[in-house]
Structure 1
């Protein structure tokens, strides 16, 4: 009985010392935590991040307003309103018959499943590696077409503008258009003189 009491007393005495020993040993281990946001780990190659609406090499939009992405979305996060291109004035947003006049993605609902990407017939919608889209305002998490459109690259002219002369819609998807032609640049300068994007693209 006395031995039991003695063993219990010693274990109670050295228990805190054992606990401190674990803490002390842990202090010298390498930290496994990534110091985000100072240090950002690269994402996987096929990471599902923020969406992007792509353009053709001359600047026309790939989205033809078919709304298949909205139909495929299981979370009802996508709103698309298509409209017809105006051939009479030569103002085209896409090489197709229609284009996406309104395009919105509600990131309060989006589950980043990628089904909208699979449904898109023109590869207009893809997903980037960008994941920093948190906000403290719910309204700012509904991204509009202007926010989702890919930035203009070299050789592109912002839509609307005519198609490349002599080309049909299928020629765009066959890769026959490499950049905006001088005629397209002149048309954009004449019709969008006050647009800083057009000024930069055509200069």
Structure 2
């Protein structure tokens, strides 16, 4: 096999010292600075938001998908039937459900099961909304919350109790509690 020798081009003095590259970068930076100055002088609104004091809550679009949560119906009953569809469809596997049975003496024993444990790892969650779309009982919803914080990984795993606290109530027909079904 023949060896191919490639000749490197000779660089000019300004290319060797990166002067032309530096000047191109300075041109872009100064251009942005001038545009910003003209915006301030013309009293145009700022683009930058001061995050802790100012939030996007008022400016969020209707289709915004935030963190998932569990909701109850208007009678404070669990909507979730532990079908585990959300767990199976979740791309990052952030949802973990352990089904539990409803006692036979309960008036709603026909439902068969409810979640014994329900956990969502908010660190893993990618807010794709697939869990909300696949839920047959409309038990899981994505709320418009983007500031989810915690001091440890353990705090970022929301259990069933925490998810119901955050989620609240949703009014509407739920197949699980439909007496005709």
Render the CA deviation track for 1:44-97: whole Å, top value 9, x for unaligned. 112111212111211110001111100000101000011110122x386x8721
Partner of 2:113: 98
What residue ranges of structure 1 are gaps of 5+ in the alignment?
1-18, 154-167, 174-203
Residue 148 of structure 2: which of 122, 130, 133 is its match? 133
**Which ranges of structure 2 fall in alignment gaps of 5 or more residues?**
1-29, 171-175
- The answer to whether the Cα contact below 8 Å between 2:86 and 2:95 also exists between their aligned partners in 1 is yes
| TM-score of the aligned structures, taking structure 2 as reference length | 0.66
2:122 & 2:103 partners in 1: Cα distance?
31
How far does residue 25 in structure 1 lie from its aligned partner after superposition? 4.3
Q: Is the 8 A contact 2:71 2:169 kept in 1?
A: no
1:75 maps to 92
Secondary structure at the aligned position of 1:71 is classed as helix
* In the alignment, structure 1 residue 170 sits paired with structure 2 residue 178: yes
Q: Give the TM-score, by structure 1 length.
A: 0.60
Aligned ranges for residues 1-203 of structure 1 at < 5 Å?
Answer: 22=34, 25=38, 27-29=40-42, 30=44, 31-41=46-56, 42=58, 43-88=60-105, 90=106, 96-149=111-164, 150-151=167-168, 169-171=177-179
Distance in 2 (CA, whole Å) between partners of 1:104 and 1:172 is 31
Q: Deviations for 1:135-156, whole angstroms, at most 9, x for unmatched residues?
A: 3311111111111113369xxx
Q: Distance in 1 between matches of 2:66 and 2:180?
A: 27
